[in-house]
């Protein structure tokens, strides 16, 4: 029992490092989910057509905005750079995605958007954790 407590205490003392695994998972998923739109004009046009069919005004602008926001914020999540602003952008992005593209159909088709929304809210509230570029920049900016 004592060795179990020692192991649990070891993990407890390093809990801020655990967030890197969630950041990596979400960041990679964001990048992977929109890389086809970012690197293929044909896919971006398909996304535009999808948004147009849903009645989104300026669908090409919306397609670019959403795809590039997710791509860039995915990179920022992985790095832990401008973390809370990136989380805020993703909260707005996924609220819009849920209201525009996932109004009907139930939970299953919208599950990924709901997960991204709530993880982004968690990131916004908690911050990036210990291993983050933001923390390094903050330490360098503080006077000695």
Cα 14–chain centre separation: 23
What's the predicted TM-score (pTM) here? 0.90
Domain that holds residue 64: 17-141
The number of domains in the chain is: 1
The answer to whether the beta carbons of residues 73 and 83 sit under 8 Å apart is no
Whether residue 30 lies inside any domain: the answer is yes
Any idea which residue has 């090409």 for tokens? 60
Ordered mean pLDDT values, 10 residues apiece, the chain (144 residues): 91 90 97 97 97 96 98 98 98 97 89 97 95 92 79
Whether residue 51 lies inside any domain: the answer is yes
Whether residue 94 lies inside any domain: the answer is yes
Whether residue 118 lies inside any domain: the answer is yes
Please name the helix (run of DSSP H) or strand (run of DSSP E) that holds residue 119, with its range, or none.
helix 107-126
Cα Dmax for the chain: 62
CA–CA gap between residue 68 and residue 89 (Å, rounded): 11
């Amino acid at each position: 029992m004592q060795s179990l407590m020692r192991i649990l205490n070891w993990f407890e003392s390093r809990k801020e490092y655990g967030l890197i695994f969630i950041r990596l998972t979400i960041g990679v998923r964001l990048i992977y989910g929109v890389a086809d739109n970012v690197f293929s004009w044909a896919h971006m046009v398909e996304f535009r057509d999808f948004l147009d069919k849903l009645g989104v005004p300026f669908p090409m602008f919306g397609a670019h905005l959403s795809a590039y926001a997710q791509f860039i914020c995915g990179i920022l999540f992985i790095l832990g750079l401008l973390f809370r602003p990136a989380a805020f952008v993703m909260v707005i992005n996924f609220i819009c995605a849920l209201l525009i593209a996932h109004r009907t159909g139930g939970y299953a088709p919208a599950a990924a958007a709901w997960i991204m929304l709530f993880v982004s809210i968690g990131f916004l509230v908690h911050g990036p954790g210990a291993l983050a570029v933001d923390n390094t920049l903050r330490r360098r900016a503080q006077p000695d």
